[in-house]
Chains A and B, each alone.
Chain A
Amino acid sequence: MTRGQRRAHRRIWVALAVMLPVGIAAGLLAGPTDEGRRAHGREASASIHDSETRRAREAVSADEHRADAAEHAPNAGGADAGTVAGDAATGAGGAP
């Protein structure tokens, strides 16, 4: 490498050595909230338009889907109701 290229490399990495840890710290301090987890994590993805379709393909197990859906369903309370709501949420569909 030429002298100029060596100098450019050195300056870039001194800048990155300062900026990247600051970026990581800022991201971690501001980010890992429940809202963030819902937004980015395995429980949901903010980038997906169709939340029903998305939830059907998300990483949460089917049981967790059902429990979650049952909790929020208007008729929550019974095992059957939970199953029905879960099926609807996961797109599995079908009458009980």
Chain B
Amino acid sequence: MIHQGISSKKVTAWLLPITSDITVAVGEFELVHVLPEIPTLFSIPWTPSYCHQVLVWQERIIPLMDLGIRWKMPEKKVETIGLDSSKIGLFIYRVIANNSLDYGALKLSAIPQRCEVYDEWGCSLPAEWRDYARDLHSCFKEKSSSISIPILQLNEIFSVPGYDIQTEYFDTVFPF
């Protein structure tokens, strides 16, 4: 991808393949590490189905999330990644409540790709992503591509699940 503009600003990002159909992006410094192999995973009771396991990395306990399940993608896109073929990316984000740094892990279907994103690539969120807008910062579209790539809001994704106190209904999926 060659960009012709001279004055436009650009930033470096990581493209994260969530499934074969879904790619999202994070900022350059939000991706900390990609685990070369699947570590031991520990299941934690009373947790959402999209995030019910943890892994240990450098003496930290890090929750592992499957965004395909969280977003309840349309059937053809819900191909939960088998652990045998998936990668795990470790991410750092700032917790809004106390401004501290914390870590989260995401299941990926392939190794992340580094790319440069130009300001003018910004685009509106496609209709298919509107239900997940809370999890996303914004969206961009590469100049020669028709595919919009949402940018993850990691601090929102790894925050407390929304809970409706009136109905005691979680806007998340629990495995029970």
Report if A and B associate in a common complex: no
List the interface of chain B (C-beta within 8 A of A). Answer: none
List the interface of chain A (C-beta within 8 A of B). Answer: none
